[in-house]
Structure 1
Amino acid sequence: MAGRPRGFDADAALDRAVEVFWRQGYEGASLTDLTEAMGINRPSLYAAYGNKDELFRRAVARYAEFDMAYARAALTQPSAYAVIEHFLRANADALTRPDRPPGCLSIQGGLAGGSDSGQAAQFLAASRRTGEQALAARLARAVDEGDLPPGTDAVALARYVMVVSEGNAVHAAAGADRPSLHATVDLALRAVPHP
């Protein structure tokens, strides 16, 4: 016997949860905030997404899939310089989209610790490390192919790129505009080694 069909669009509701977590962080987002934004009641939230932690993890996965698609696209660029430039420029644009909260869910979502013993912050840090490792692997390939000078520390270069993008995220959340972020990218790109 089949259960009663869901009376709401689960993806649209999840998109609204992304916005709540992005604006308020994991700790600041109450179940009331989430259910009101999602247009559902608590039993529906629990039935569709599990608890708040599971909803947060699904929201971050959705954010990574759609809002951070540019990071995957950057890895396909033909040169290390193009990879880094594509990533940082697309990141600056994403951080300042007029239709989204300023900054980055991955940074804002876990800044405050509290009742979850830092679990949300640790989850987001691990997620960012995964992206950094993918970038480091792509840059290591560039070293092997002669696209970056021999001896270039791909791990350190990937970390540098992530520090720039994360710093821009903090500044965007504080009100920095797109041209300001791109000016930072211009300076950061000067540090990318050439073969």
Structure 2
Amino acid sequence: MSTTECPRAPGRPRNFDPELAVAKVQPLFHAHGYDAVSVADVTEALSIKPPSFYAAFGNKIGLYERVLGRYVQTDAIPFDDILRSDKPVAECLAALLEEAARRYAADPHAAGCLVLEGMHSNDPQARKVARDFYSLAEHKIHDFIAQRHPNEADRLTDYVSTTMLGLSGKARCGHSLERLLASARIASLGLRHPLS
């Protein structure tokens, strides 16, 4: 009887977990953006070979979609906790903008919103994936406003979304939490009149 181990077929490591892999590369996409992260960067970060990467994720856009999905579930703004029917709409939207400022500034190495910044990708598929996730969040804001202020829902959704895009962009440019919060609070003043 031979004690020599059979050589393993090439492929994923024995303990390879795609969900853990997605979590591990999420900061890579957040810090550098979709365009700057290559398959080689991902395989190096995960200590796997390219065939293992393609077997697990199909392609780079497949991985990116899973990264965005994980981000929305674990690290993005908790819309349902903030947009509450038992509080005034303006108060909830102000809280949403402040929470956006806090989250966008939380990690200086991966600042801004992964979804919002993904919409600036040069790759049309990556832009579409990010826009799809963005649309879900925008619909939540719109539906929340429309429940009590249907005539203001379109323009206030645009106003809040535009502010969030600006906060994310400024966070990517290195603005401090204090500056982002100041901008969020000034923007919140604009919500009072239409919702009064």
TM-score band by shorter chain is: 0.7 to 0.9
Q: Which moved more, 1:93-102 or 1:83-92?
A: 93-102
Choose from 77, 83, 106 the match for 2:115: 106
Cα root mean square deviation, aligned: 2.1
TM-score, normalization by structure 2: 0.83
Post-superposition shift, 1:6? 4.7
- Aligned-partner SS, 2:34: helix
Q: Which runs of 4+ in 1 moved over 3 A?
A: none
Choose from 97, 101, 117 the match for 1:88: 97
Q: How far, CA to CA, are the matches of 2:179 and 2:50 in structure 1?
A: 41
- Return 5+ residue gaps in structure 1 as ranges: 145-150
Q: How far, CA to CA, are the matches of 1:31 and 1:52 in structure 2?
A: 7
Post-superposition shift, 1:143? 1.8
Choose from 131, 140, 143 the match for 1:137: 143
Post-superposition shift, 1:69? 4.2
With over 3 angstroms needed to count, the CA separation of the structure-2 counterparts of 1:131 and 1:125, relative to structure 1, is: same
Residue in structure 1 matched with residue 158 of structure 2 by the alignment: 159
The structure with the largest alpha-carbon Rg is 2
Choose from 23, 39, 42 the match for 1:15: 23
Q: How far, CA to CA, are the matches of 1:132 and 1:162 in structure 2?
A: 7
TM-score, normalization by structure 1: 0.84
> Is the contact between residue 96 and residue 177 of structure 1 (CA under 8 Å) also seen in structure 2?
yes
Amino acid at match of 1:31: V
Q: How far, CA to CA, are the matches of 2:174 and 2:138 in structure 1?
A: 25
- Aligned-partner SS, 1:183: helix
> Is the contact between residue 25 and residue 110 of structure 1 (CA under 8 Å) also seen in structure 2?
no
Q: Which moved more, 1:91-100 or 1:49-58?
A: 91-100
Q: How far, CA to CA, are the matches of 1:102 and 1:70 in structure 2?
A: 17
Q: How far, CA to CA, are the matches of 1:156 and 1:37 in structure 2?
A: 43
With over 3 angstroms needed to count, the CA separation of the structure-2 counterparts of 1:99 and 1:40, relative to structure 1, is: farther
> Is the contact between residue 101 and residue 180 of structure 2 (CA under 8 Å) also seen in structure 1?
yes
Identity over the aligned pairs, expressed in percent? 28
- Return 5+ residue gaps in structure 2 as ranges: 1-11
